[in-house]
């Protein structure tokens, strides 16, 4: 059973998500929070698998709440998906840096929401090509010279190659076609790379790919 915590200051939004999620045989809503502070407290108490976190909330916003959750070693298994009004929300960059596993727009189709919840709990990141492109563009605008990463020395040549392809926004299927391997092999390389670098998920791997200099501005054209 996938346990979900809903964090949104609008009760109607929470009610809509709850009705959809609780109707699924493999998903249950473990709790609801109306602000970021309450979300952090409830995550500690309930230990849900995933938090659907609104970015803009009173008292403690979604970004600060996400940082509090992802920086707590006791909550390593909890994944946070940010809820935004628009896919290219101005806080996309900061949220990924804060440890969010992905994004959902609030008017996402029900089937897409359910697929997303299951995908994130399964270890995938919810980053559309548009969000990935914005993430890299933000790095290009904000970052200084890439910092050397000792962790990359532990990667094989193929793992470095796969990490770079993840960094420019390719899916496992696209990586498989690029490298002429099976999707399962591509997924295995991605998983091993995340383990070696201590990345929580695919979203953090994108961040590490850029910060290490493995991905550079202009690669996306």
pLDDT in tens, 201-210: 787 788 788 7
Q: Which of 29-43, 78-92, 100-114 has the lowest mean pLDDT?
A: 78-92
Residues 6+ away with beta carbon under 8 Å from 30: 3, 4, 5, 46, 48
pLDDT value at 76 more than 50: yes
pTM: 0.71
Average pLDDT of the residues of the chain: 83
Check whether 187 has a pLDDT greater than 70.
Answer: yes
- The predicted structure's pLDDT at residue 105: 79
> What pLDDT digit, counting tens, does each position of 46-55 carry?
999 999 999 8
CA distances from 91 to 53, 87, 94, 169, 208 (A): 13, 10, 5, 19, 18
């Amino acid at each position: 059973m996938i346990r979900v915590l809903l964090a949104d200051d609008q009760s109607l939004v929470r009610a809509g998500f709850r009705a959809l999620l609780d109707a699924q045989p493999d998903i249950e809503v473990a709790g609801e929070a109306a602000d970021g502070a309450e979300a952090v407290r409830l995550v500690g108490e309930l230990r849900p698998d995933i938090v659907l976190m609104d970015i803009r909330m009173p008292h403690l916003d979604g970004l600060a709440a996400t940082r509090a959750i992802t920086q707590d070693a006791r909550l390593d298994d909890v994944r946070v998906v940010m809820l935004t009004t628009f896919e290219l929300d101005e806080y996309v960059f900061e949220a990924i840096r804060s440890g969010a596993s992905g994004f959902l727009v609030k008017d996402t189709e029900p089937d897409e929401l359910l697929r997303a919840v299951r995908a994130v709990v399964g270890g995938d990141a919810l980053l559309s090509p548009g969000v990935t492109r914005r993430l890299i563009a933000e790095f290009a605008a904000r970052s200084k010279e890439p910092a050397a990463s000792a962790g990359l020395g532990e990667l094989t040549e193929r793992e470095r190659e796969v990490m770079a392809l993840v960094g420019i926004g390719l899916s496992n299927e696209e990586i498989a076609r690029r490298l002429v391997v099976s999707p399962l092999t591509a997924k295995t390389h991605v998983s091993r790379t995340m383990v070696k670098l201590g990345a929580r998920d695919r979203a953090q791997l994108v961040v590490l790919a850029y910060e290490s200099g493995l991905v550079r501005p202009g690669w996306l054209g």
